[in-house]
Structure formats: structure tokens, C-alpha cells
Structure 1
Amino acid sequence: MSKKLRVLSFAMFLALFIFFTLSACGGIRYSQVSPSAGDFHPKTIGVLPVDVGTYGEARGVADQIISGILVEKGWFSDVASPERVRSQMAYNADLRKAVVDYLTKLKTVNFSDPELSKKIGEYYKIDAFLIVNVDFWNYTTQGKDKVAKVGFAAKLVDAETGKIMWEAGHHEVKDLKQNLEPNWQLFAKMSIFDEDFRFLMLPLPLTLNAEP
């Protein structure tokens, strides 16, 4: 089987897997793809440390989930994990400042600084980097039912130009039958593989693994 067919077969399997196995509800909260995304084919990617916000229990776990998926699926020739990103920032003050300044500008004035993104890309030798926020990671109630809720927001940045190639937000809600605690790591991983993240994560690097 050609690489192209293997990739397409995986996408079909994933769609069926999600349709038949996910008992959770939820969905896409927003989704936007850059018009130039079709010409963007990153071979290497970095994952900046996930911003867990007030959900401290997700710290570290979310990092492992996101980078683990990218490594496992083989969409990129190299994945700079959040641990690797964080470790190198600790020993390089200029790099640390570049990452912090970039994220601060993005968060406060919604500006993806091309000079800083290029510096980040050159240092880590990556074509793109992923910025992920945890929007939900908690228990809540819906009516009389106790539920677990997981949600992520993500941006994929072209390191060379600073352009945000896509951004999306997605969440899943799982009913807790008999008050059983969910496997948070598995639940979060499944939420990433729902409609939005499958659509956005697969097409960009798809041609890298496909034979002509």
C-alpha cells in the first residue's frame, strides 16, 4: 500500500473510530484556516509548553498528550516537545525572552511577531510551532448529571513568517456514569481527535507523507 493510501486509510479509520466509540458530546467552538495554508507544508514542528491556565492538574499531562500524538502519527520528521522547548529556554536567556515576548504580544494585542517567530524557528530548527491552551479540564454538572469537560484551543504558526495558519477551539463533555472518575489523559486525547483537530492537523503535512 502506498504512503498516500495509508494516510487516507488512517483518516477514514479515525473518522469511523470517532463516530462509533465516542460517547461524549461537545464539538467545535470555532475554526479558522488561513487562505495560504494549502501551500504550507512544514516538515518539522515544535510544541510550546501548553498554557493550562487555572487547570493546574493538566500541567505536564497536556504537554505529553499533544507532543505524543504528533510523534506517534509521524506527520513530521522532527517534533520539538514542550519539555525540550522548556529545557533549552532555561539555558538560553535570549531564547527565553523571544518566546516570552512572542507569547505576550500574541496574548495581549493578538500580534504574531514575525521577527520573534523566526528566531524561535531558527533556534529550534523547526518550520512551525503549535501554541495550545487548556480551556476546560474539570468536573461540572449539566442538570442533575455530573460530567467531565475537556477543551483545547490551538494555533499553528509558520515560524518563518509568523503567520497563523490555523486556529481552532474544541471541547468534549463526558457523562460520568455511576460517579466513576474518567481517564483524563485518554479523554483529552480523544477530544483532540474529534472533527476539528482531525481536519486541521492532517491536511497541512499530508503531502509530506504521500507519494506523487
Structure 2
Amino acid sequence: MTTTTTADGGALARLHARLTSDAERAGLLDVAYRVADSPVGPLLVAAGERGVLRVAFAVQGHDAAIAELAARVSPRVLEGGRRLDPVLRELDEYFAGTRRVFDVPVDLRLLDGFRREVVDTLPRVPYGATASYAAVAALAGRPTAVRAVGTACARNPVPVLVPCHRVVRSDGTPGRYAGGDAAKATLLALERAAARPSPAAGDGA
């Protein structure tokens, strides 16, 4: 993914990258983040030592996401860091339609209780498929907690990596999405297209 730097000028950007690398080697960097371009707009991706902590859409406010990480995880948050290379590579593959499952670890410490149980359940909804809020509630072991599932999806700290976009209303309509309705439609369309079987050799178009 193409990363977007907030620094003006190549020299300043290189200095920032070097300082971040030095901080990471010295164990002084708890959370690293980058802002990367994607088909659903700029994504802020942040990771700690245990895994990816946050993926935030522009409409959610990147500054707000950084402030939450500083308040709830550690104030030692810096832009850059090599620990983000694996997740950015996997996101590139996902958006290219060549990756269906993410292998990078996620760190869900920003969630607790039933919301975390719901988010833990979401990867069980297959790539290219959807499930209703009611179905996810049943998978999470609380079939009557449909509204709570909607809240948990809205609070999912790592959208795209953990596929809350695959959860739809019982009538099949997409429903709301933290990244915006257009982003949800884009992700679902991407997965449907990539999951569609290719025509067999010799079949007429």
C-alpha cells in the first residue's frame, strides 16, 4: 500500500523515519502507525508488539484514533515503524483480490466483554459471503443480542482485517458501516468478484 506521510519535505520525512526506527530498536515505541491509500480511502493502520491495534477510516477521524491509542494503550505513539510492513503487505494483497484470510495477529485490547466475543466471531463469516446480525448473535452464543452485535460491529477496532463489513441486515440490505456505506459496498463487491469462479476453459463467454 502507498503510505501517506504528514511530514513536509523529503529531508524531514527521512529524519522522522530514522528517529522512529531508533525508538523502535531502543524499545521506546509502543504503537506505530501509518496512513495508507486504499480503494476505500486513506486507512490509518496502527500496531503494537502483540499485533494490529487499530484500522481507522478517514471518516472516523485519524487524529481521534491516534488520541484513543495514546490514552488507552500508550502515549508512545509514532508514525512509521517496520512492524507495519506485514499488515500493509497483506492489505495490498486483499485489495488486489489475492488474499482471503489475514495472517497478521490482531490485538483486541480496546474491546472487552460481549463486544470482544462478537469481534472474535466475525472471521467465521466466510470471504465473499454475508451473515445477518441475528446469525452472528447466534454464533456468539447470545441469539437475542442482535442490537448488541450491531454495536460491537460499529466499535470493531480493526475493520477489514476482522470482517464486520460481512454482517448485513436480515433482509439482505447492507446496513450501516463505520467506514461509510460506500466503503462497505466496495468491500463486499471486491470479495464477491474475487470469490466468483473463473469460467472453465472452452466455455463460451
TM-score of the two chains, using structure 2 as the length reference: 0.26
TM-score of the two chains, using structure 1 as the length reference: 0.25
Q: Which has the higher helix share?
A: 1
Q: Using CA pairs below 8 Å that are at least 6 residues apart, which structure has the higher relative contact order?
A: 1
